[in-house]
Amino acid sequence: MAKLSPRDIKRKINGIKNTRRITSAMKMVSAAKLRKAQNLLYATRPYSEKLYDLIYDLSMYIDRESHPLLAKREESRVDYVVITADRGLAGAFNSNVLKAVWRDLNSLKQEGKEISLILIGRKAVNFFKNKGFNIVGAYEDVYRTEMNLSFTAKVGGIISSRFIERKSDAVYLVNNELITSSTYETKVRRLLPLEPPSTIRVMESTTVYNVEPSKEEVLEVLLQRYINFQLYRALVESSTAEHSARMIAMDNATKNAGEAIRKWTIIFNKARQEAITTELIDIINAAEAIK
């Protein structure tokens, strides 16, 4: 590499400083968005968990095979709902989800399973669009325009219809979930069919429901609502975790930029000293030549 002049080094330092200002601003924006997203997430989780408990308590008192969304069968056709972000600059946020899905899909392909995908987020859509999989739905810019229950009801209807019509035997949901304000984890869970309650839970349950018009009819409504809301919660979890991941990534980038500035400042000072020394030597040599 050609030796850089002090002027070139100074230009490089200024470029890094500009980058540091951008990453620092992005970190502050993500931190503000994270606080807002956390409020929505913490309001979403209790309802999701209570709905989960209610459905399973009701399902204890009816025949599991009486509702198509509870029917368990051999998984020869599998649907994956993959949720990523629309943007990057968030560290390994998107790649963690895509790696987890890719690992599962390769395993299923080796077993001869039929695989279909529902993709939410530009990163997932771009990754899988040329991979040869059957894509049932692909949705971009959801977080900015459609992160609401109307959107999840539309996608939830597609998922339920495919399962009821036996176009899929199981549906898995993959997304990132916030653990703490600075950590997240990639989750792969089965959305359909719903798991039956454990024997221990049945024995411990003391709740008695008086349901009208019937347990079966109420359960049917709750099951679809459960699927829709699980999708909504997954979107909220993913959005919140994305802000956290981007805040951390931009914080690291800002710190790295600071280290780079310090390194190049030392190089600049050395180069400037060398240039001054060279000029002094030239002046001294010229003065000696005149004598």
Residues 64 and 187 in one domain: yes
pLDDT of residue 187: 94
Kindly tell me if the per-residue pLDDT of 36 is higher than 80.
yes
CA distances from 214 to 62, 211, 217, 231 (A): 10, 6, 5, 26
User: 82-86, 199-203, 230-234, 269-273 — which is least confidently predicted?
Assistant: 199-203
Residues 67 and 191 in one domain: yes
Q: Which one-letter amino acid corresponds to residue 276?
A: I
pLDDT tens figures, 133-180: 999 999 999 988 878 889 999 999 999 999 999 999 999 999 999 999
Tell me the two tokens of residue 34: 């994270």
Q: Is residue 41 part of a domain?
A: no
Residue 43's pLDDT is what?
92
CATH number at 167 reads: 3.40.1380.10
Please state whether the peptide bond connecting residue 196 to the residue before it is cis, i.e. omega within 30 degrees of 0.
no
| Pairwise CA distance, residues 71 & 283, whole Å | 92
Q: Are residues 116 and 228 in the same domain?
A: yes
What was the pLDDT predicted at 289?
74
pLDDT at 63: 65
Average pLDDT in the chain: 87
Instruction: Please report whether residue 35 resides in a domain.
Output: no
The answer on 279 and 242 residing in a single domain is: no
| CATH number of the domain encompassing residue 277 | 1.10.287.80
Residue 259 is inside which H or E element, if any? helix 215-290
Q: What is the DSSP letter of 197?
A: P
Residues 87 and 168 in one domain: yes
Would you state the pLDDT for residue 270?
Answer: 87
* pLDDT above 60 for 202: no
- With beta carbons less than 8 A apart as the criterion, state whether 67 and 162 touch: no
Over residues 228-236, the mean pLDDT reads: 94
Q: pLDDT tens for residues 65-89?
A: 667 888 888 899 999 999 999 999 8
239: CB partners within 8 A, 6+ apart:
37, 143, 147
237 and 255 both lie in a single domain: no
Instruction: Please classify residue 29 by burial: count the beta carbons closer than 10 Å to its beta carbon, then call 0-12 exposed, 13-18 middle and 19+ buried.
Output: middle
Backbone angles phi, psi at 274, to 5 degrees: -65, -40
The arithmetic mean of pLDDT across residues 244-268, rounded, is: 94
Instruction: Examine residue 33 and state whether it is found in any structural domain, yes or no.
Output: no
Residue 1 lies in a domain: no
Domain encompassing residue 148: 46-248
User: Which pLDDT score, from 0 to 100, does residue 113 have?
Assistant: 92
Which pLDDT score, from 0 to 100, does residue 72 have?
Answer: 83
Asked if residue 171 belongs to a domain, the reply is yes
Considering the domain architecture, whether residues 70 and 123 belong to the same structural domain is answered as yes
Same domain, 95 and 17: no
* Burial zone of 235 (CB within 10 Å; 0-12 exposed, 13-18 middle, 19+ buried): buried
Q: Output the pLDDT for position 194.
A: 79
* pLDDT score for 106: 92
Q: For residue 83, list its beta bridge partners.
A: 120
Please tell me the distance from the alpha carbon of residue 193 to that of residue 71, in angstroms, as a whole number: 6
CA distance between the termini of the chain: 40
